[in-house]
Chains A and B, each alone.
Chain A
Amino acid sequence: MSNNNLTQKYITLYQNHKERLLDNSSQIVNEYRDKAFDAFKKSGIPTVKSEAYKYTNIEEPFSRDYQSVLESEKFSGNIEELFKCNVEELDTYTMFTVNGKFIGDNNPGALPEGVIVGGFAEMAEMHPAIVEKYYGKSALIEKDGVIALNTMLATDGLFIYVPSGIKPEKPLQVVNILTAENDILVNRRDLIVVEGGADLRLLFCDHTISTNRFLVNAVTEGFVADSGTLDFYNLQNQHNGTVQIGGYYFQQDKKSLLNANYFSLNSGIARNNVFVDMNGLHGENHISGLTLVDKNQHVDNFLSISHNVPECESNELFKSVLDDAGSGAFTGRIYVAPDAQKTNAYQSNNNLLLTDTALMNARPQLEIYADDVKCSHGATVGQLDEEALFYLRARGIGKDEATILLMYAFAYEVIEKIRVPALKEQIRTLVEKRFRGELDKCDSCIVCADINKVMNDLSGV
């Protein structure tokens, strides 16, 4: 089903740059590179003819020409001029990537002992035992051509390791900045390990600064060990020339808790692949998403939750508000293994269409092979409640304001899931600004603490 010319294009890209890629990576990562190359030759870039990518054409963005980041030097511009803002900061440990490369020049603040954070390339060399144990174990190269492609081409990204029992007091924030003079392809690769009983709150903020086109094919692998907790937040606010395939592949051990929240506020085309394997008794997760699209934006949330063992609980809540000719898709796969008895799996997907030209595709996919299972799923696609709108207007609230109140009312349930109070407040504000059409670059850095400081640090690079 793959497109041979397109596959060949990326095979050639790999072959042309292989030497440099190998030079810049650890041995284990390079071993995966070769395997990924073989896997990619078989799978290629997924097409709309495949079930998984039926609603999002990623061939088209992949077929464009990019000055790959493999060819470009490390970021050396002065972003300060482009990204200036002085709004209040969120109290976090803050780190940055630019075009997928970790920028280690700023001091994120004193982290608890044993916590390792840094660039993936560098940390993989320094901590081979961790990489050996986890790398490529969750994002399997045979699963999806884009995983294979990322594994074949990626060199850098985030590396986060929280040892047993450690609970960093502040959330960790990663600002993923895209900025370049030409159109570029970015292959970011992240590894997050939360060991037994540890507790990590992690926020990814994805932003664009320059106006050129970006294609991002990012893969994040996350592991939550016995009784560990990972609170993950992804805030995406990118310009409409951005196409991002964000793959998030989680493994959960017994009694672990995973909360993953996706706020897709702006992007041209966004595809979130969220895969969770529940591998230990009494694991629990809450995966939620709020998607806001307008103009010709498109967001496709593709979720797959695997209950591989008994007595786990999964909860999914995804909501979208679609305006203009915006479109979206939601796929919610729930797999319950034959002996995964006493599974609780709940899924809900609600969509609000503001215009006749907005479009939503929703599909639950349940594969349940155990019999003692509680499972529910529901998908709704609706319009603004005319009666509620009239009620608000009859009290003197203008039509636009009333519409915003109702959109916000629709969205708030997802915002309520945020467990970091200061972040909840800021996302509330961002979502409201987004509804008012006031969300610009400056607002987006409300949650991006320390940005000015980092820009100063960076300008010397």
Chain B
Amino acid sequence: MLKIRDLHAAIDGKEILRGIDLDIKAGEVHAVMGPNGSGKSTLAAVLAGNEAFEVTSGTVEFDGYDLLGMSPEERAREGLFLSFQYPVEIPGVSMTNFLRTALNEQKKYRKEKPLSASNFLKLMRDKKNLVEIDSDLTNRSVNEGFSGGEKKKNEIFQMAMLDPRLSILDETDSGLDIDALRVVANGVNKLRRDDNATIVITHYQRLLNHIVPDKVHVLYKGKIVKSAGKELAHELEINGYDWIKKELDEQ
């Protein structure tokens, strides 16, 4: 589904991603871990099409298409979803209007009919239950005045509404208490299917107890320095990142 080859990206002339290779197949969950500042959010932003970052070399194929040639909205319409580490507050844009516009623009792109008002509201209700999101949050402006936890739940709620094929969850666990974490993880698990895939970015292993990954990658200084099965997350939890840093420095 996703094929990343030798991806380099920079911001303000500073190179952040320094040659990433990654393959993800439909039905898989991959965890990307690594210490703060290693480039995890940058990778997510580059995949979603944030123009603040400049891709200096490399390729990304999404279902065989050149992802890097697409605008952010095209990527979303093709089924890519980014759960933001820091969701943006947009006063004056109501959650309902925002989601209806997003959903219908995606449907239009796929040459499907727009949802009727009543079907849209029904879908909202169903998906709200899935992430146990407070009903009045959807009557407010996008993320405005939401607590940290509510913002993260709202990201997963949007993911449920838009039903993407590839989801990138950037630190969706940070700032969540244990109950909220469970709710978010359950939501993600319920949305898992054979024909979609998920990248879970985190630097704690906590979330991975709930969302069990097929593969774990460690990103360090803009490169994937280690890839293994889910047991790698455990090892990192116990020993931290220092042993990896040391291993690398010795090489």
With contacts A387-B88, A391-B88, A412-B92 taken as known, whether A398 is within 8 angstroms of B50 at the C-beta atoms is: no
B contact residues, range:
20 to 34
B111 CB, nearest partner CB in chain A, Å = 14
Scoring B72, B91, B101, B109 by chain A CB atoms within 10 A of each residue's CB, the highest score goes to B72
CB proximity to B under 8 Å, residues A384-409: 385-388, 390-399, 401-402, 405-406, 408-409
Of the candidate stretches B76-84, B197-205, B214-222, the one touching chain A is: B76-84
Report yes or no: B98 in contact with A399, Cβ–Cβ below 8 A. Answer: no
Interface residues of A (CB under 8 A from B): 385-388, 390-399, 401-402, 405-406, 408-413
Report yes or no: B102 in contact with A397, Cβ–Cβ below 8 A. Answer: yes
Report yes or no: A391 in contact with B76, Cβ–Cβ below 8 A. Answer: no
A98 to B103, CA, bound (A): 47
Chain B hits for A388, CB < 8 A: 88, 90
Report 15 cross-chain contacts, Cβ distance below 8 Å, ordered by A residue. A385-B88, A385-B90, A390-B88, A392-B93, A393-B49, A394-B72, A395-B102, A396-B73, A396-B102, A396-B109, A396-B162, A401-B101, A405-B97, A405-B98, A409-B91
Report yes or no: B49 in contact with A394, Cβ–Cβ below 8 A. Answer: yes
Report yes or no: B71 in contact with A395, Cβ–Cβ below 8 A. Answer: no
Task: Please name the residue on chain A nearest to B91 by beta carbon.
Answer: A409
Chain A proximity mask over B27-64: 1 for CB below 8 Å, otherwise 0: 00000000000000000000011111000000000000
A395 to B75, CA, bound (A): 9
Task: Please name the residue on chain B nearest to A411 by beta carbon.
Answer: B92
B106 contacts partner chain A, Cβ-Cβ < 8 Å: yes
A395 to B102, CA, bound (A): 6
Chain B hits for A401, CB < 8 A: 101, 105
Interface residues of B (CB under 8 A from A): 48-52, 71-73, 75-77, 82, 84, 87-88, 90-93, 97-99, 101-103, 105-106, 109, 141-142, 158, 162
With contacts A390-B72, A391-B84 taken as known, whether A397 is within 8 angstroms of B101 at the C-beta atoms is: yes
Chain B hits for A396, CB < 8 A: 73, 76-77, 102-103, 105-106, 109, 162
Report yes or no: B73 in contact with A393, Cβ–Cβ below 8 A. Answer: yes
Kindly identify which residue among B75, B91, B105 contacts A397, using a CB–CB cutoff of 8 Å.
Answer: B105
Report yes or no: B92 in contact with A394, Cβ–Cβ below 8 A. Answer: no
Report yes or no: B93 in contact with A394, Cβ–Cβ below 8 A. Answer: no
Report yes or no: B90 in contact with A393, Cβ–Cβ below 8 A. Answer: no
With contacts A398-B105, A405-B97, A405-B98 taken as known, whether A393 is within 8 angstroms of B92 at the C-beta atoms is: no
Chain A hits for B93, CB < 8 A: 392, 405-406, 408-409
A405 to B96, CA, bound (A): 12
